[in-house]
């Protein structure tokens, strides 16, 4: 059976499974649509959260980023995992105890203000839409290579699949679909990693293989890679080149952005009890760790395999020739058809600039003749390592599962913000349950259409776009939730001013740094790059969060205290039931 048919069968089977689950778990009420009827088992919820959380950025982009960025990009691992711990300890149990369906609903009730709820909806939609672009880009990348369709066609297929199970099943359908998607994505990520680790180091555990000796040189694998990378003129793999300030702020931005991401928080509203929210957070961390402990090994091994493909006789010897690439085999007869396969997608490009018939892969931009998109490293890894066809098909299904599971969670957060917080909360409080369910389904459809359009014209590649979404969530939603739970003094005026200040400052900084401001006179976008103390746009979320906290405290201090019942509400969220009786005796 040829590779294309195999890909089609494996991907098709997983899609059939997802749609089957959605039909089986159809949401019949708003409680099922928004919170899966609050009946999800903590272990199942942990798996669903893992899939929701591990997006195309985790599955497709992260290892690619680490493969080419080395030490500096380890912040992604620390920030995303650390943020999950913050979420589990500081937010999830308290928000579940509050017992509402959405994050804006909590903010609206806690800050006794429809305006606060509206601002939270705007922040949520801004962060979630930015994030979903990254997922749709990932769907396009995976489809265009494995089903041999154009990027745009891949996006339309992905959008249609999400539409079918998200609009049909709501949170109930999405939850059980995500459990299946977690199983697919974790198998797809670890099996190739185990094979490649065995090939290169003889160790079947990729995380340990990373610190083992390279079978070819007898040197530690990381030392071998560092030697090759520096000899070719690329930046060091093992030393820091970014400023410590920027790395610190970027890690913090990812951490608090994670804890403020509405689509992950919403997952904790689906379990029966507060204790289950804590327990499902613990399970999710276990399921997430399986992928995150493997990613650094996948990154290093993929980079090593890439260099070895283009320098089959070692660095300093002859590189691959155009004739060998065309023939699909190097001078030793080793299969290198993957180079042409990925070149067709436009995500890998080579050009013989000096006309010597050879392709140089070097750090000098002028002399380099090979361009590799970060996002292909995980997907191309099995082909580079000559793994069996079924593994390649499995990776395709895993990449799509990762992108689609997160896209569905984000679209769910957007749709419930529109139908539950905007329509029921602001426009028509007396709407019937049936009409609200219809509004939720329509807003989900519109959100999918917008996300698909933006996926066709994305700003930056998958993980970069996602990093911006984390910055927006960090600057706007996280501080409001933290102050809402842990401070009785913050009032409605403080919360609204803080959220708006954090969001606006961060958006403006991102636009300035990315050079997205349009100048009509020159008919072009600015190329301005104002770096405040070397802080990049992806790291600015933590500064935005500080501004949010500061503005909220200053404004609340200058205006009157929240009503007594709101202060009692804050107290009741934090104190476990029955504690009062125990402390009074």
**Dist. CA 221–CA 248, nearest whole Å:** 28
Give pLDDT, residue 582.
37
Q: What is the CA radius of gyration of the chain?
A: 25
Cβ atoms of 60 and 138 closer than 8 Å? yes
3-class DSSP state for residue 329? strand
Torsion (CA) 83, 84, 85, 86 in degrees, nearest 10: 50
Structure tokens at 563: 């009503």
Beta strands in 258-354 (DSSP E): 348-350
Tally helices (H) and strands (E) across the chain: 26, 4
Q: Which residue has the tokens 């049909």?
A: 168
- Say what angle helices 462-486 and 62-69 make with each other, to 10 degrees: 110
User: Topology of domain 3-300+389-575, per CATH?
Assistant: Sodium/glucose cotransporter (1.20.1730)
**Dist. CA 470–CA 476, nearest whole Å:** 10
Sign of the torsion angle spanned by Cα atoms 122, 125, 129, 132: positive
**Dist. CA 434–CA 24, nearest whole Å:** 20
Digit-by-digit pLDDT tens for the chain (585 residues) are 888 899 889 989 998 888 888 788 776 677 777 666 677 788 988 898 888 777 777 888 889 999 999 999 999 888 888 888 888 888 888 887 877 767 888 888 889 888 888 888 888 887 788 778 777 777 777 777 777 787 788 888 888 888 877 777 677 777 888 888 889 889 999 999 999 999 999 999 999 999 999 998 899 999 999 999 999 999 999 999 888 998 999 899 989 988 887 777 777 877 888 888 888 888 888 898 898 999 999 999 999 999 999 998 887 777 889 999 999 998 888 899 999 888 887 889 999 988 889 999 999 888 899 999 888 888 888 888 888 989 888 988 888 888 888 887 788 788 888 887 788 877 888 888 788 888 888 888 888 888 888 878 765 544 456 667 778 889 988 999 999 999 999 999 999 999 999 989 988 887 777 655 544 554 444 444 556 777 887 888 999 999 999 999 999 999 999 999 988 888 888 775 544 443 343
Structural domain spans, the chain: 3-300+389-575
**Dist. CA 287–CA 292, nearest whole Å:** 9
**H/E segment holding residue 518:** strand 518-519
The DSSP-derived string for 49-91 is: HHHHHS-HIIIIIHHHHHHHHGGGGHHHHHHHHHHHHHIIIII
Give pLDDT, residue 465.
61
**Dist. CA 309–CA 328, nearest whole Å:** 12
pLDDT tens, 440-455? Answer: 888 888 888 888 888 7
3-state helix vs strand vs coil in the chain, percent to 5: 75, 5, 25
Q: Which residue has the tokens 């929210």?
A: 277
**Dist. CA 457–CA 207, nearest whole Å:** 36
Cβ atoms of 52 and 132 closer than 8 Å? no
**Dist. CA 292–CA 210, nearest whole Å:** 13
**Alpha helix locations (H) across 487-560?**
492-514, 541-558
DSSP state of 421: I
Give pLDDT, residue 195.
93
**Alpha helix locations (H) across 316-432?**
322-327, 337-343, 377-384, 389-416
Structure tokens at 365: 């931009």
Tell me how far CA of residue 274 lies from CA of 41, 103, 228, 480, in angstroms. Answer: 12, 16, 52, 21
3-class DSSP state for residue 559? coil
């Amino acid at each position: 059976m040829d590779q294309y048919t195999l890909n089609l069968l494996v991907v098709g089977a997983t899609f059939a499974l997802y749609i089957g689950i959605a039909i089986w778990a159809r949401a019949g009420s708003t409680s099922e649509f928004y919170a899966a009827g609050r009946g999800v088992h903590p272990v199942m919820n942990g798996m669903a959260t893992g899939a929701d959380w591990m997006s195309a950025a985790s599955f497709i982009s992260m290892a690619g980023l680490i493969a080419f960025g080395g030490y500096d990009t380890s912040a992604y691992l620390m920030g995303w995992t650390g943020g999950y711990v913050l979420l589990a300890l500081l937010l999830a149990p308290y928000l579940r105890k509050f017992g509402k369906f959405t994050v804006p609903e909590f903010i609206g009730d806690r800050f006794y203000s429809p305006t606060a709820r509206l601002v939270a909806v705007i922040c949520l939609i801004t962060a979630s839409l930015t994030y979903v672009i990254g997922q749709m880009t990932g769907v396009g990348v995976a489809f265009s290579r494995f089903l041999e369709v154009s990027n745009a066609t891949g996006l339309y297929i992905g959008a249609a699949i999400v539409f079918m199970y998200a609009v049909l099943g709501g949170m109930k359908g999405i939850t059980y679909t995500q459990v299946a998607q977690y199983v697919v994505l974790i198998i797809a990520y670890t099996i190739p990693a185990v094979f490649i680790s065995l090939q290169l180091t003889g160790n079947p555990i990729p995380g340990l293989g990373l610190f083992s000796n390279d079978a070819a040189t007898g040197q530690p694998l990381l030392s071998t890679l560092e030697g090759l990378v520096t000899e070719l003129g690329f930046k060091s793999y093992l030393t820091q080149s970014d400023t410590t300030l920027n790395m610190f702020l970027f890690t913090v931005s990812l951490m608090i952005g994670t804890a403020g991401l509405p689509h992950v928080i919403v997952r904790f509203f689906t379990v029966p009890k507060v204790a289950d929210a804590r327990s499902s957070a613990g399970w999710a961390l276990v399921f997430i760790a399986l992928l995150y402990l493997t990613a650094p090994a996948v990154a290093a091994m993929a980079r090593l395999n890439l260099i070895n493909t283009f320098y089959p006789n070692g660095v300093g010897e002859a590189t691959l020739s155009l004739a060998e690439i065309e023939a699909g085999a190097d001078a030793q007869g080793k299969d290198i058809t993957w180079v042409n396969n990925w070149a067709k997608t436009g995500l890998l490009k080579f050009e013989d600039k000096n006309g010597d018939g050879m392709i140089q892969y070097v750090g000098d931009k002028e002399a380099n003749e090979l361009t590799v998109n970060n996002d292909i490293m995980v997907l191309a890894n099995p082909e580079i390592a000559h793994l069996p066809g079924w593994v390649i098909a499995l990776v395709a299904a895993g990449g799509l599962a990762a992108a689609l599971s997160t896209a569905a969670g984000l679209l769910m957060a957007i749709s419930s913000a529109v139908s539950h917080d905007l329509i029921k909360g602001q426009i028509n409080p007396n709407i019937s349950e049936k009409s609200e369910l219809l509004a939720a389904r329509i807003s989900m459809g519109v959100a999918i259409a917008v996300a698909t359009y933006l996926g066709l014209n994305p700003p930056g590649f998958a993980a970069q776009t996602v990093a911006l979404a984390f910055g927006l969530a960090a600057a706007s939603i996280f501080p409001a939730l933290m102050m809402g739970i842990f401070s009785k003094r913050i009032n409605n005026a403080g919360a609204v001013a803080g959220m708006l200040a954090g969001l606006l400052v961060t958006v403006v900084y991102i636009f300035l740094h990315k050079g997205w401001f349009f100048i009509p006179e020159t008919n072009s976008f600015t190329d301005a790059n104002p770096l405040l103390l070397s802080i990049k746009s992806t790291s600015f979320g933590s500064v935005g969060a500080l501004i949010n906290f500061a503005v909220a405290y200053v404004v609340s201090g200058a205006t009157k205290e929240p009503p007594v019942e709101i202060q009692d509400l804050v107290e009741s969220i934090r104190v476990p039931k029955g504690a009062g009786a125990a402390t009074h005796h």
